[in-house]
């Protein structure tokens, strides 16, 4: 297995996986294609041969899957004009889970955001209707969040935007845990090239 930066050739596979496992809807394809067009789509992939078996993608700016104006203002207030990146998607193929691939992708993303000159990174951690948070521990390599907000029913309006949830369908009951990190707090150990 290898890790490398995503390229434009990977976009169709990433869109397919995103629509199947993260958020479905034509809106998602358009959003990713627009970000690529605007040179604002970065990420790291894990590959086995030609096949992508995991990825973590990021974008510059303050945005959520479903608009939340109050939270967007909160992130802007806390980051106070700094360069902010957000996690657009994290996924690892079912057959490869629980081997630390997500943690490695998170570590490499900390390094990538530093390279891009980012000051902050935030994530919208998916909270399943049963309360399970799939990335909760993997993200701990970024240290302690400087801002955190637990938002039940975070995705309830997704159908208004032409999106559906892979778990709940049109009537999404999932929540999100918003966590914002200062890139300066991510330890050098986590961002050095030697792992």
- Sites of contact with ligand COA (CB under 6 A): 21-22, 90-92, 97-103, 125-126, 134-135, 137-138
Q: What is the DSSP string of 44-85?
A: EEEEETTEEEEEEEEEES---SS--HHHHHHHHHHHTT--EE
> Measured from the CB atom, is 39 or 97 closer to ligand COA?
97
d(CA 153, CA 66): 11
| Cβ at position 14, least distance to ligand COA in Å | 13
> Measured from the CB atom, is 28 or 135 closer to ligand COA?
135
| Cβ at position 22, least distance to ligand COA in Å | 6
| Cβ at position 130, least distance to ligand COA in Å | 13
What residues contact 152, with CB distance under 8 A and at least 6 apart?
A: 127, 175
If one counts every other C-beta atom within 10 angstroms of the C-beta of residue 56, the result is 29
d(CA 7, CA 19): 19
| Cβ at position 83, least distance to ligand COA in Å | 22
d(CA 65, CA 175): 12
| Cβ at position 80, least distance to ligand COA in Å | 26
Q: First and final CA of the chain: distance in angstroms?
A: 15
Q: Are 32 and 15 in contact (CB under 8 A)?
A: yes
> Measured from the CB atom, is 22 or 183 closer to ligand COA?
22
């Amino acid at each position: 297995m290898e890790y490398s930066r995503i390229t434009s050739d990977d976009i169709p596979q990433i869109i397919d996986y995103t629509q199947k496992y993260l958020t479905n809807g034509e809106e998602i394809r358009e959003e990713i294609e627009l970000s690529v067009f605007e040179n604002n789509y970065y990420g790291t992939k894990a590959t086995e041969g030609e096949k992508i078996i995991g990825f973590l993608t990021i974008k510059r700016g303050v945005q959520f899957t479903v608009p939340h104006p109050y939270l967007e203002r909160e992130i802007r207030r806390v980051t106070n004009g700094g360069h902010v990146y957000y996690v657009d998607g994290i996924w690892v193929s079912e057959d490869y889970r629980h081997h630390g691939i997500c943690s490695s992708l998170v570590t490499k993303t900390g390094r990538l955001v530093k390279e891009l000159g980012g000051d902050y990174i935030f994530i919208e951690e998916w909270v399943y209707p049963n309360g399970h948070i799939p990335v909760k521990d993997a993200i701990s390599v970024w240290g302690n969040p400087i801002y955190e907000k637990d938002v039940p029913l975070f995705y309830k309006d997704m159908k208004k935007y032409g999106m559906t949830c892979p778990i709940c369908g049109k009537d999404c009951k999932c929540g999100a845990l918003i966590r914002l990190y200062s890139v300066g707090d991510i330890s050098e150990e986590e961002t050095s090239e030697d792992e």
